A and B are shown apart, each in its own frame.
Chain A
Amino acid sequence: MSRNLYDVLGLFVSVCFIMALKGLSSPKSARRGNLIGAFGATVATVLVFFEPGSSHHHIALILGAVLFGVVVGVPAARKIQMTQMPQLVALFNGVGGGAAALVAIVEYLKLGSTASTPDVVATVFTVIVGCVSFSGSIITFLKLQELMTTRPVVFPGGRFVIAGTLVGVLGTAGWVINSLGTAPLLIMGALALAFGVLFVLPVGGADVPIVISLLNAFTGLTVAASGYVLQATLLIVAGTLVGASGTILTRLMATAMGRSLFGTLFGAFTAKPQAISEAGEARPVKSGSAEDVAILLNYAQRVVIVPGFGLAVAQAQHTVREMADLLTSKGIDVAYGIHPVAGRMPGHMNVLLAEANVPYEQLVEMEEINPTFPQTDVVLVVGANDVVNPAAKTTPGCPIYGMPILDVAQAGNVIFLKRSMRPGFAGIENELLYDAKTTLLFGDAKESLTKVVSALKNL
C-alpha cells in the first residue's frame, strides 16, 4: 500500500471518530455514532497491518494478542450488569492508559540515545499520565465495586505525601530528559503509579464519576502524545479529540452535580479527615409495614417515585413499573423524579429504567420535578439516599454540600424503602429519615415492592 493511500485512509478514520463523538451528543444519533466509531476503529486496526514499511515479523503473535483481547473484552462488556457498568468503563479506561504507557516505554527503549528532546518529552508525558490513569482507574474500579471503602480515604499528612510524590515524579521526569536512561524512566513510572493511587484515594463517593471522566480525558491525551512519538497522525487526532471532549464532559458533569471541578481535582490536597457521623440507630425512626405504605399510596393523588442505586441493585426496576402501572390504573398521577446522578453516573438511572420499559415521559428531570413536590402527596424513595439528603443544603462542609438535591421534604409524606439504616454511597447520615412525615419500610427493595403491590391489589 502506498504511503499516500495509507494516510488518506487514516484521515477517513479520523473523520469517523469526529462523527462518532458528534453523534454521541444527541439521543437520536447516539447509537449510530457509536457504530461509526467502531467501524472507524476496525478500519484503522486492519489498516495498520498494511502500513508501508511494516516487517510482519511477529504478525501471528500480534493477531493472537488481538484475539485474546477480544475474547476477554467482549464477554465482559456483554455480560456485565447495567448496575456495574461505571466500574467497567473505569477498568477499560485504565487498561487503555496502561497500553499507552507501555507503547511509549517500548518506543523509548528502541530509540535509546537517538531520541530527540521533543520525543523524550512526549514519552515522559505519556508514561506519567498513562500510569496515573492506569492506577487511578483501578482505584475507582475498586471503590465502585465496593471492594474497598467508598468514603474518602484521608490519612494524616496525606497531602504532604501526595505533594512529595508529585515532586518526585517531576524530578525524575527532568532526570529522564537529561540522562536518557532506562532506570530513571522506570522509577518515574513507578512514582506516577503511586501518584495515581494517592490522587484518587481521597475522592469520595459522589465525585468518583467525575474522576473517571477526567482520567478518561487524561488517557486521550496520552494517546495523542504517543501518536507524536510514533509520528502517527491518527493517534494524535483521536487522542486529542477524546482529551478535549473529555475535559468538557468532565466540566459539564461537575456542573450537573453542583461540584467544583477545582475542588474535586485538588481535593487530594485540601481534604481533611472528617468526623465519622455517629451511628443513628439510637434515634427513633418511624417504620411501617407494606400495608401502611399501600394505604398511603392508595389515597394519594400524586405520587413521585425517586429511584436510586438500591433499586438497581435489587433488580426492582420491573416491580416498580408494575406498581406504577397499578397506581396509574387507579387514577393516581405517577412520575419518576430522576436526579442527574442517580445511580453511579450521570444518566445511569435513565439507562436502568429504560431497560425495564418505563415510559420515557414519566421520567422527569430534577429541575422540572422539584417545583411540583409541594403538590405531591407521597414520595416513594426506592434505594436512594444521597440525592435526597437535605445535608447537601444545610450542612456546609459535608462531602455532598452544594450538590443539587431532589427536594422531597416538601411533599406530604415521604416513604423510604431501605435495606438498613446504613448511609448512602457518600457515607453521610440523612436527617430526613428522622423526620415526622417519613415512613421507613425496611427490606430488599424488590421484596418490599412486591409486598406493596399485593397489598395495593387487596385494597
Chain B
Amino acid sequence: MSNGLALLSIFVLSVFIGFEVVSKVSTTLHTPLMSGANAIHGIILVGAITVADRAANNLQLILAIIAVVLATINMVGGFVVTDRMLEMFKGKPRAAKSEAGDSK
C-alpha cells in the first residue's frame, strides 16, 4: 500500500471513530464536549513545531513561530477552560447534595 493510501485509510477510519464516540451525548455536555474537541485540535502545535524546526529562512521561521504561539494558546487554554467547566459537574448526576463546586 502506498504511503498516501495508508494515510487515506487512517483518515477514513478516524471519521467513523469520531462519529461513533459522540453519537449519544446529552445536551448538558454539548458545551464541554465542543470545548474539549477544540482543545484536541490544538495538537496542530506538533505540526507547527515540526515546520519551525525545519524552517529554511527567516520568513518561514517567523510564520512558524506565530503558528506555535497560536497553537499553544488553543491547546493549553482549551484544556484548562474545559476542565473549569467540568469541575462544576463533578459528582453529577443525582448525588449532588453537598457538592461544593468551589469556583475561583
Please give the residue numbers on chain A whose beta carbons come within 8 Å of chain B beta carbons, in ascending order: 17-18, 20-22, 24-28, 30-31, 33-35, 37-38, 41, 44-45, 47-49, 51, 54-59, 61-62, 65-66, 68-70, 72-74, 76-78, 80, 82, 85-86, 88-89, 92-93, 95-96, 98-100, 102-103, 105-107, 109-110, 118, 212-213, 216, 219-220, 222-224, 226-228, 230-249, 252-253, 256, 340, 345-348, 350-351, 354-355, 357, 359-361, 365
Give me 29 A-to-B residue pairs in the complex whose CB atoms sit less than 8 angstroms apart, sorted by A's number. A20-B36, A21-B37, A30-B32, A30-B33, A31-B89, A37-B39, A37-B40, A44-B45, A45-B45, A58-B55, A62-B65, A66-B49, A73-B72, A82-B103, A89-B31, A96-B74, A99-B66, A106-B51, A109-B60, A216-B38, A230-B51, A239-B41, A240-B14, A241-B17, A242-B37, A246-B34, A247-B18, A248-B19, A249-B34
Distance from B91 Cβ to chain A, minimum over Cβ atoms (Å): 9
Once bound together, how far apart are the Cα atoms of A224 and B74, in whole Å?
A: 16
Say yes or no: B73 contacts A95, CB within 8 Å. yes
Given A58-B52, A227-B7, A244-B19, 8 further pairs, Cβ under 8 A: A24-B37, A27-B89, A57-B53, A66-B68, A89-B31, A96-B44, A98-B67, A346-B30
Say yes or no: A347 contacts B81, CB within 8 Å. no
Say yes or no: A18 contacts B17, CB within 8 Å. yes
The DSSP consensus for interface residues of chain A is helix
**Chain B residue, CB-CB nearest to A359:** B96
Contact of A346 among B27, B40, B48, B80 (CB under 8 A): B27
Cβ–Cβ < 8 Å partners of A240 in chain B: 10-11, 14-15, 18
Say yes or no: A246 contacts B73, CB within 8 Å. no
Once bound together, how far apart are the Cα atoms of A337 and B93, in whole Å?
A: 17
Once bound together, how far apart are the Cα atoms of A19 and B1, in whole Å?
A: 28
Once bound together, how far apart are the Cα atoms of A354 and B41, in whole Å?
A: 28
Say yes or no: A244 contacts B68, CB within 8 Å. no
CB within 8 Å for A226 and B28 given contacts A106-B60, A241-B40: no
The 8 closest A-B pairs by CB, nearest first: A69-B72, A244-B18, A73-B77, A360-B96, A240-B14, A96-B74, A77-B80, A346-B30
Cβ–Cβ < 8 Å partners of A78 in chain B: 80, 84, 104
**Chain A residue, CB-CB nearest to B61:** A58
Distance from A195 Cβ to chain B, minimum over Cβ atoms (Å): 20
**Chain B residue, CB-CB nearest to A341:** B27
Distance from A101 Cβ to chain B, minimum over Cβ atoms (Å): 8
In B1-34, which residues have CB < 8 Å from any A CB? 3-4, 7, 10-11, 14-19, 21-34
The DSSP consensus for interface residues of chain B is helix
Cβ–Cβ < 8 Å partners of B41 in chain A: 93, 96, 100, 216, 219-220, 223, 238-239, 242
Once bound together, how far apart are the Cα atoms of A61 and B97, in whole Å?
A: 50
CB within 8 Å for A65 and B40 given contacts A24-B32, A34-B32: no
Distance from B48 Cβ to chain A, minimum over Cβ atoms (Å): 5
**Chain B residue, CB-CB nearest to A134:** B70
Say yes or no: A93 contacts B30, CB within 8 Å. no
Say yes or no: A85 contacts B85, CB within 8 Å. yes
Once bound together, how far apart are the Cα atoms of A98 and B17, in whole Å?
A: 26
Cβ–Cβ < 8 Å partners of A56 in chain B: 53
Say yes or no: B37 contacts A72, CB within 8 Å. no
Say yes or no: B100 contacts A357, CB within 8 Å. yes
Say yes or no: A37 contacts B44, CB within 8 Å. no
Say yes or no: B100 contacts A65, CB within 8 Å. no
Once bound together, how far apart are the Cα atoms of A35 and B36, in whole Å?
A: 10
**Chain B residue, CB-CB nearest to A256:** B27
Cβ–Cβ < 8 Å partners of B79 in chain A: 34, 37-38, 41
Say yes or no: B31 contacts A106, CB within 8 Å. no
Cβ–Cβ < 8 Å partners of A82 in chain B: 84-85, 88, 103
CB within 8 Å for A233 and B72 given contacts A56-B53, A77-B81, A245-B21: no
Say yes or no: A102 contacts B36, CB within 8 Å. no
**Chain A residue, CB-CB nearest to B99:** A357
Say yes or no: A236 contacts B7, CB within 8 Å. yes
Say yes or no: A235 contacts B33, CB within 8 Å. no
Contact of B74 among A95, A235, A340, A354 (CB under 8 A): A95
Once bound together, how far apart are the Cα atoms of A234 and B45, in whole Å?
A: 11
Say yes or no: B18 contacts A242, CB within 8 Å. yes
Say yes or no: A360 contacts B92, CB within 8 Å. yes
Say yes or no: B23 contacts A346, CB within 8 Å. no
Name which of B46, B81, B92, B99 has the most chain A CB atoms within 10 A of its CB. Answer: B46
CB within 8 Å for A103 and B72 given contacts A21-B40, A228-B7, A236-B14: no
Once bound together, how far apart are the Cα atoms of A88 and B82, in whole Å?
A: 11
Once bound together, how far apart are the Cα atoms of A345 and B84, in whole Å?
A: 16
Once bound together, how far apart are the Cα atoms of A22 and B49, in whole Å?
A: 28
Say yes or no: A27 contacts B100, CB within 8 Å. no
Once bound together, how far apart are the Cα atoms of A22 and B7, in whole Å?
A: 23
Distance from B72 Cβ to chain A, minimum over Cβ atoms (Å): 3
Distance from B5 Cβ to chain A, minimum over Cβ atoms (Å): 11
